[in-house]
Structure 1
Amino acid sequence: MFIYTLINNLLFYGDFMIIFAHGDCDGICSAAIVLHKFRDAKLFFTSPAGLLNDLKSISNEDLIIVDIAITSRFKDEICGELKRISTNNMVMYFDHHPLPPGLNEMDIPVNVVFRDEYACASELVFRYFIGDIHHDMGRGMLYGCIGDYRDDTEFSKTVLNCWDKRELYLDAGILVEGIEGAGKRNYDFKRALVSKLSNNIKPSLNDELVKYALNEASRSDEMRLYVKGNVKV
């Protein structure tokens, strides 16, 4: 069954939508914003090192890639796979990492490239698909901005003025610590987390996430005290 969806004057027409996202706070928040727009999308977590092999698994699906850098080592092969996929399907690439030497935005063979090295992927995805600074998903965008130390752009500061900063930074801290505490390869937990964030459920209302966050905060402080008492500079 083909999907024909018109978003921002772009036609999505694959069997279904796939999201490739990084598993950190920015990647998770970016994926949540995309999932908010494409409720039936299938989410997979990947990394710069794993992107090439994951692209090879795509056949007739539309694809949105968020917060995944293109590595120098595999840039030619990655571009080859992107060209293959975008020949018959919609492919969009949102990222803020520097491109490898010899590659510029015009060389990336996809339908849409949206990059800004001064913003985070969450901001880029939000600006492209939503744009309204008063939209509820602006809060999810800001979690990603804070988690990636990109909460000082003009756009993020404008959106931040729409929210209570104290509550927002509390939730962002819980999200960052909880993701770290859950473990990098806890993909089922991360998918469930993205689903909750896509429905604008605050991190502080996610009991499992809060538990991970508290354990990670305790572990981090123990490490800080150990380093302070045992390492001489």
Structure 2
Amino acid sequence: MSWKIITHGDSDGLCAGAIASMVFEGDIWFSNPYKLIKDLKSTKSGTNIAVCDLAINQDSVEEVMRELYRLGKHGEVCYFDHHPLPSFKIESYYSDIYLPLINFMGGGEGISASNGRIRFYHDKGRSASEIVHSLYRDRLPRETAKIALYGAIGDYTDETKWVKNELERWDKRIIYFQAGILLEALGEVKKEYELKREIASRLISGTEPSEMDEVVGLARQEALNDKRLYNYVKNNASLLGEVACVMLSKGSMSKGAHFAMGLFDAKVGLCAMEKKSRIDISLRCKKSEPIDLTAIVSRIVGRLGGSGGGHKAAAGASIPGDKFDRFIELLNRYIE
């Protein structure tokens, strides 16, 4: 029975998907948390699936669980993720599931849930790339660890025990160089899924990002865009309470939020972009801040008719266009 790898399109998702493809010998399909339910519904019963680095949004958890259950009846399902889980009890969806703790190789604990055909592996403390690699590394070539490192670095999860130890086994300057090229190139690729599949395929074959001419060219272009974006944020961002804000019409929202935060040394950086009748928002804060952006965003969007999620120090939201000022007001209230 064939495998289908459904994974996020950022560097961690691409690297986790590449490793999963090596393990299960499946084709890679790129998705995102909002598109996940559509991709699951379009998957035929009898197909084995591995889902990597895709958050389950609170407003779609019921549908996602039903689809995973459907696919698990006639095939295998493996779900590897590190995003904060929505509020739900997995036992209420699968009466025959059990929830032991799994000790990931390299230290740390995450939740493993399984009923034989549907398996969940979740750990907020490490990247999806590291999770997949830690579970199957005995089946994989030694060099696959580099792919896991690229994913971890790209997702700001490069301080785990395994990553620190593994970097000691390579020259970490080389690893960060290659990870940086890959990360920057993917910032230019966006929804060019065939190119992303080609990049993943070449990583699997042992080709480094610096050996891929198109990837190097894309990385250089993104680096130039980064400089232009920084200058734009420097000239246009403003501080609203504890939040450094900037509005973009194009460009990387995550980097815009990060630049705004750094320029003002603010508790939170926010970058917004209007899309028809809605506003998309990216948020960043320092890991040292006692702020949980995902928890805050979840509280706010529920009141404003929006959606959102992410990580403790990096989150995103989409809200009705006329609710932006209210979003800023509530954000300041909750981060104080």
The answer to whether 1:197 aligns with 2:203 is: yes
**Aligned partners of 2:185 and 2:215 also within 8 Å:** yes
- In 2: Cα distance, 1:151 partner to 1:26 partner: 11
Which of the two has higher C-alpha Rg? 2
Quote the Cα distance in structure 1 between the aligned partners of 2:161 and 2:92. Answer: 26
CA displacement 1:150-202 (0-9 Å, x = unmatched): 010111111111111111101100000000012x2110110101101112211
The 3 A distance-change label for structure 1 pair 230 and 52 is closer
% identical aligned pairs: 36
- Between the aligned partners of 1:107 and 1:160, the Cα distance in structure 2 is 40
Moved over 3 A (4+): 103-110, 131-134, 229-233
Partner residue in 1 for 2:322:
none
The answer to whether the 8 Å contact 1:140/1:200 transfers is no
Contact map agreement 1:52 1:78 (CA 8 A) in 2: yes
Residue 107 of structure 1: CA displacement? 4.7
Q: Which residue of 1 aligns with 2:142?
A: 135
1:37 offset after TM fit, Å? 2.3
Give the drift of 1:74: 1.1
* Residue of structure 1 equivalent to 2:194: 188
Hey, what does 2:246 align to over in structure 1? none
- Note if 1:76 corresponds to 2:62: yes
1:20 and 1:65 in contact (8 A); partners too: yes
Q: In angstroms, what is the RMSD of aligned CA positions?
A: 2.0
Q: What is the DSSP-based 3-state SS (H/G/I as helix, E as strand, rest coil) of the residue aligned with 1:93?
A: strand
Deviates more, 1:87-96 or 1:219-228: 219-228
- Alpha carbons 2:50, 2:78 under 8 Å: kept: yes
Q: Larger relative contact order (C-alpha < 8 A, sep ≥ 6)?
A: 1
Matched, 1:179 2:165: no
> Of the candidates 222, 225, 229, which is equivalent to residue 231 of structure 2?
225
Q: Compared with structure 1, are the counterparts of its residues 35 and 102 closer, same or farther at alpha carbon in structure 2 (3 Å cutoff)?
A: closer
- Paired residue secondary structure (1:130): helix
Decide whether the 8 Å contact of 1:133 with 1:159 is kept in 2.
no
Contact 1:96–1:121 (8 Å) recurs in 2: yes
- Answer whether contact 1:134 1:162 (CA < 8 A) is retained: no
Q: Is the contact made by 1:178 and 1:212 (CA closer than 8 Å) also made in structure 2?
A: yes
Q: Any stretches of 5+ residues in structure 1 without a counterpart?
A: 1-13
Q: In 1, are the aligned partners of 2:18 and 2:28 still within 8 Å (CA)? A: no
SS at match of 2:59: coil
Give ranges in structure 2 of 5+ residues lacking alignment.
95-114, 240-336
Change (3 A) 1:224 1:77: same
Cα distance in 2 for partners of 1:170, 1:105 equals 43
CA distance in structure 1 between the partners assigned to 2:64 and 2:3 by the alignment: 19
Inter-partner Cα distance in structure 2 for 1:63 and 1:35: 11
Quote the Cα distance in structure 2 between the aligned partners of 1:220 and 1:82.
Answer: 39
What amino acid maps onto 1:144 in structure 2? Answer: G
Task: Report the counterpart of residue 43 of structure 1 in structure 2.
Answer: 28
Which structure has more strand as a fraction of its residues? 2
2:48 to 54, 59, 62: 62
| CA offsets 1:197-220 (integer angstroms, 9 cap, x no match) | 112211111110110000000111
Structure 2 Cα separation of the partners of residues 17 and 133 of structure 1: 17
TM-score (norm 1): 0.87
